[in-house]
Chains A and B, each alone.
Chain A
Amino acid sequence: MEDMILTLMEKYRVYAPKRYPDRSVRYGEVNTPSEIAADEKSHFSPKEVYLPIVQTIFCFKNGRCEEREIKDDRDILIFARACDINAIERLDTIYLKNGGVEDFYYKRLRNKVNFILIECSESFESCFCVSMGANKTDNFIGILRDGKIDTESEPVFVSENKMSVTIPDIDESIEKDIFELKYWRSFDNSCVGCGCCTAVCPTCSCFDTIDVTYNETSLDGERRRVWGSCMREDFSAMAGGHNVRNRAGDRMRFKVMHKIYDFYRRFGETHMCVGCGRCGERCSKDISFPDIINTLSGKAEQLKAEGGANQ
């Protein structure tokens, strides 16, 4: 297998889940097969490979601007699970098919990406990919099997999770009621707004653009794109002091509805969430995303029944 990675490295920059000294498992460039941590679900998604946490767009130096180029000509090869491979299609929708404009900086990295499938022999505790229809994929060039890359065999996917969700049946008639649910207020105190859930999510796409200078008196610096998060207090802050979603519950509503309603409503086909379950695992307050979806399903059903009775 040693040779396998070396052969791959001639053509690709190889990324896989790696175990870091602080025990966290996240994606990084690998040089030896032993580095690949394929037995555990990575704590972060492979998103950080093709949508870097901090990305320099251009530098300004001596009064001139210079755009950052990608120096490495090699393509990118990522060892990923089915949910994460499905997730890149959701990001494509946002970055390449939204509003008829393609995002240059996303596209130039995205076009280099190829996948090797890591099969899940068994579903992990917090997964609900089957409910979200993200347990299968055909977007890969090989399968990691017994330490080798198999390009012949049929892939094996999980068909059952320990956890399942029912997508709420929401339509325009109850949209406003869902918006006003008291349920969202329960997150005002429980959610701390750290943004950990959105950082580990493979489909969260928000970013912030910042200008940095190298030191206090320098005129040189760069423009960077960094990950943003709708769960943070200042995400919807506006000039003049108004904040659209001031309470944690409002921000939770915004995120949840985007993942399981708004995205689908705008683009059709799929929901944004792929059911990887990382958000719940990462949350320091143990807020479970599948629980929210199921609760919301119940509420939506109830609202519809009430609406029907009123008419």
Chain B
Amino acid sequence: MNKKQYALVIDLDRCIGCLGGCLVACKLQHGTALGDSRSKMYKMESGHYPDLEMYFLPVMCQQCENAPCAVLCPTGACYKDPEDGVVKIDTGRCVGCGTCRKNCPYGAMNFNKEMHIMDKCDICSELRARGEKLACEKNCAGGAINYGDINDPESEVSKLIRDAGENVCSLTDEGNKPSGRFILRGAKWKEEEPWKI
């Protein structure tokens, strides 16, 4: 049997870049401080006038298979939960050193200045435990956000991925094997990494 790997599968054709659905809902849910965020929204533009193309790309933790944040966390506070494949932070062990943030290829680690600990998307562990929908999933205006076990061929997200065929993309793999998937039919996927600039 395959190991469970929960991940977000985002249908970018449905994302209108409103910021309110995922980002604000996430901030409200997790009480993230002013100026901080667990997720970010990028505009991916390409082409020359008049042949222009643009799509929105919401980026949060990709729950990598070989998560560098978990490997390099000195105190073992950042770990990959074998139960659901989600990378989580044990706040009782986190010293806020920022090694994870420095080594995350997607800039998806957030530093909680008030508590001096790291903070990241854990696909709303608490809400999932209560059987509720994720904050971003529930509030997304276009219904673009889905989550589930991508290793289970019977799961909803696996069906979505199968249906999308070759229109499924993921963020650049630097050996960390990101689990997050993006479905993009309406535009050409850009390999650019705006979070690195």
List, in ascending order, chain B residues with CB within 8 A of A213's CB: 114-115
Selected interface stretch from B16-24, B44-52, B67-75, B127-135? B67-75
Could you tell me the distance between the alpha carbons of A215 and B103 in the complex, rounded to whole angstroms?
26
Is B106 in contact with chain A by the CB < 8 A criterion? no
Could you tell me the distance between the alpha carbons of A224 and B77 in the complex, rounded to whole angstroms?
16
Is B92 in contact with chain A by the CB < 8 A criterion? yes
Q: A192-B103, A199-B74, A216-B114 are in contact. Are A54 and B83 (CB under 8 A)?
A: no
Q: A199-B74, A232-B97, A284-B72 are in contact. Are A21 and B82 (CB under 8 A)?
A: yes
Q: Which of A23, A199, A212, A215 contacts B75 (CB 8 A)?
A: A199
Closest Cβ–Cβ distance, residue B87 to chain A (whole Å) = 11
Known pairs A192-B103, A226-B116. 17 more at Cβ < 8 A? Answer: A21-B83, A22-B79, A22-B80, A53-B75, A54-B95, A193-B99, A195-B74, A199-B74, A199-B75, A210-B96, A212-B114, A214-B115, A215-B33, A216-B34, A226-B95, A226-B96, A284-B71
Say whether A216 contacts B72, CB under 8 Å: no
Q: Which of A54, A196, A215 contacts B114 (CB 8 A)?
A: A215
List, in ascending order, chain A residues with CB within 8 A of B73's CB: 194, 196
Binding site for A on B (CB under 8 A): 31, 33-34, 71-77, 79-83, 92-97, 99, 103, 114-116
Say whether A214 contacts B95, CB under 8 Å: no
Q: A44-B76, A216-B34, A284-B71 are in contact. Are A227 and B115 (CB under 8 A)?
A: no
Closest Cβ–Cβ distance, residue A92 to chain B (whole Å) = 22
Closest B residue by C-beta to A21:
B82
Say whether A194 contacts B99, CB under 8 Å: yes
